[in-house]
Structure 1
Amino acid sequence: MDTYLETERLTLRRFTADDADLLVELDSDPAVMRYLSGGEPTAPEVIRERYLPNILAGYERWDGNLGLFAAHEKDGGAFIGWFILRPAPEGPLDEVELGYRLRQVTWGNGYATEGSRALLGKAFTELGVRVVWAETMAVNHGSRNIMAKLGMTLAATIPTRPDMKLIEGAEHGGVRYEITREQWERR
């Protein structure tokens, strides 16, 4: 396993071309996809032909330092989902997005906070990042609570996009949270 980062209970690694089934299984859970697609699964061919090749290309683009990382429990090695630390498509390298998508059976175990906290540390101490941001739907209180626990603050509200109309709560739009290196250092 090509370890990218370790926490007390998790190992994060780069995805490989053999990991499509992990992503298909994750995106097939309606609860996992609730605030992303209204519960609709991502088609397996989209994952295999578009998503996974883009993930792998991201490692090349960012020298393996940024991108989407598979998360596994240290105890037993179970795949729990993924974490993301990467810039916007045309964004500066010192402003990166933080996010995660975890299997429903792992919710409530503190993994999202643990993995995200470790990625913030790596971003600010090793990768020269200035700002980390995260976005979610306004009604996704679970993710908003994690962002607040991490010391991120509400930076903007995001209008509802046309592609979000079928998602419960979409009329409330989204939110963007941010934390700067200076804010992180003061915590």
Structure 2
Amino acid sequence: MADIGESGGFGAGASVLLETDRLRLRRFVPADADALVELDSDPEVMRFLTGGRPTPAEVVRAEVLPRLLRGYDRHPGLGRWAAVDRAGGEFLGWFALDAPTDGDGTQAELGYRLRRAAWGRGLATEGSLALVRYAFTTLGLRRVWAETMAVNAASRRVMEKTGLRYVRTFHLDWDDPIPGTEHGEVEYELLRAEWTAGDRGR
């Protein structure tokens, strides 16, 4: 894993958070707007988020990306980072450690969103493992958690491979529910004490 540095390839010059064998996670920059629009326009990528509806390009450019950029200063060490292929420099998606809305600085929510071309290669687990290590060793967080739809089996497998354990199933009220919401949402978590006691802490 790399310390903060400078990236090469896609988004050259952006600050790098960390690197894994195949991934480079770096800060988003304004020039990433097109890549984010493309990511959120794939109905399969958005299946368990919006039922497959794309995020409008104007929303990505005027709301989503500016919010991501502001977040780096608002919550130092946390946020969403562009995932870039270390070998070829292509944009693959993003990974996140999002600050909780209640302001609890001891925990963060793990998330990711990857292009379809990056699926099935273990990249989601690879990036998530690196962020969990960063959360506990660099940031000193107490807890990392993640949520997804109960029917999203692929994301649940990633959470389990990353070391998170199932906590609960809960139901939310949606104005415009998508298929599968009737089965609820699931929450997974990993505590630093558990991580330190396990293989990932050694």
* Bin of the TM-score, shorter chain as denominator length: over 0.9
**Normalised TM-score (structure 1):** 0.96
Deviation of the 1:163 alpha carbon: 3.8
User: Does residue 48 in structure 1 map to residue 61 in structure 2?
Assistant: yes
User: Gaps (5+ residues) in structure 1?
Assistant: none
Report how many aligned residue pairs link the two structures. Answer: 185
**Normalised TM-score (structure 2):** 0.89
Deviation of the 1:164 alpha carbon: 5.3
On the 8 A contact 1:72/1:80 being kept in 2, the answer is: yes
Match of 1:70 among 60, 82, 90: 82
On the 8 A contact 1:161/1:173 being kept in 2, the answer is: no
On the 8 A contact 2:75/2:99 being kept in 1, the answer is: no
Question: Which residue does 2:120 correspond to in 1?
Answer: 108
Question: Which residue does 2:43 correspond to in 1?
Answer: 30
Describe the SS at the equivalent of 1:182: helix
Off by >3 Å, runs of 4+ in structure 1:
none
Q: Among the aligned pairs, what percent are the same residue?
A: 53
User: Gaps (5+ residues) in structure 2?
Assistant: 1-6, 8-14
Question: Which residue does 1:95 correspond to in 2?
Answer: 107
Question: Which residue does 2:190 correspond to in 1?
Answer: 179
> Structure 1 CA distance, aligned partners of 2:99 and 2:176?
22
User: Does residue 117 in structure 1 map to residue 126 in structure 2?
Assistant: no
RMSD: 1.0
> Structure 2 CA distance, aligned partners of 1:85 and 1:7?
16
User: Does residue 5 in structure 1 map to residue 5 in structure 2?
Assistant: no
